[in-house]
């Protein structure tokens, strides 16, 4: 485990958390991590056990669930 790799993954996680409402691409994460898109993907998966897309999806779902629970938004059903 390289400290440089851990810091790169942390930078990617921070970027994702700060830009969750925007489209996030592997090019964005590669730019933040200072590694190639392929290597950034590999590092992220190695250290989080999730692909970047899965991580983003889970974080978005968690935030949405929290907003629903706290009453900050509502779900409308149309029939």
Q: Give the pLDDT band of residue 59 (cuts 50, 70, 90).
A: very high
Q: Other CB atoms closer than 10 Å to residue 44's CB: what's the count?
A: 26
78 three-state secondary structure: coil
> What confidence tens digit (pLDDT) does each residue in 3-43 have?
999 999 999 999 999 999 999 999 999 999 999 999 999 99
Cα–chain center distance at 39: 16
Rounded distance, CA 15 to CA 8, Å?
Answer: 11
Write down the pLDDT at residue 66.
Answer: 87
> pTM score, two decimals?
0.85
Computed on alpha carbons and rounded to an integer, the radius of gyration of the chain in Å comes to 15
Rounded distance, CA 40 to CA 12, Å?
Answer: 9
Q: Which domains does the chain have, with CATH numbers?
A: 3-69 (1.10.10.60)
User: Is the pLDDT reported for residue 65 higher than 90?
Assistant: no
């Amino acid at each position: 485990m390289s400290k440089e790799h851990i810091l790169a993954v942390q930078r990617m996680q921070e970027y994702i958390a700060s830009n969750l409402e925007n489209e996030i691409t592997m090019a964005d994460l590669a730019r933040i991590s200072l590694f190639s898109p392929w290597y950034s993907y590999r590092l992220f998966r190695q250290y989080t056990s999730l692909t970047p897309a899965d991580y983003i999806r889970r974080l978005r779902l968690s935030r949405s669930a929290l907003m629903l629970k706290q009453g900050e938004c509502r779900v409308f059903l149309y029939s």
